């Protein structure tokens, strides 16, 4: 994280246990300013976004695995 302000980007890709076509890449970006309060707000918002994205990735991974099981059956 930048200590004097800047842009923070977090990227994640779906489980490596999935085929490439089933993986989803997501990213979240936040601009951090020099102000301590503004930086804290930005990091808090980013953490909330990342938590939401993690939930979505998990849900999507579970759905893809469920579809794979049905296709194999």
Q: Which domain holds residue 58?
A: 6-72
Specify the pLDDT at position 66: 92
CA distance readout (Å), 69 to 9, 66, 73 = 34, 5, 6
Let me know if residue 60 belongs to a domain: yes
Let me know if residue 16 belongs to a domain: yes
Let me know if residue 1 belongs to a domain: no
* Number of compact structural domains in the chain: 1
- Please write the tens of the pLDDT for every residue from 14-46: 777 777 777 888 899 988 777 777 778 889 999
What spatial distance separates the first Cα and last Cα of the chain, rounded to whole Å? Answer: 47
- Model confidence at 58, pLDDT cuts 50, 70, 90, reads very high
Tokens 């990213």 map to which residue? 27
């Amino acid at each position: 994280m930048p200590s004097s302000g800047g842009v923070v980007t977090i990227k994640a890709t779906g489980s490596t246990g999935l085929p490439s076509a089933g993986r989803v890449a997501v990213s979240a970006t936040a601009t951090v300013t020099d102000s301590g309060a503004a930086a804290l707000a930005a990091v808090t918002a980013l953490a909330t976004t990342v938590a939401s994205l993690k939930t979505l990735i998990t849900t999507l991974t579970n759905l893809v695995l469920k579809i794979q099981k049905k296709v194999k059956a």
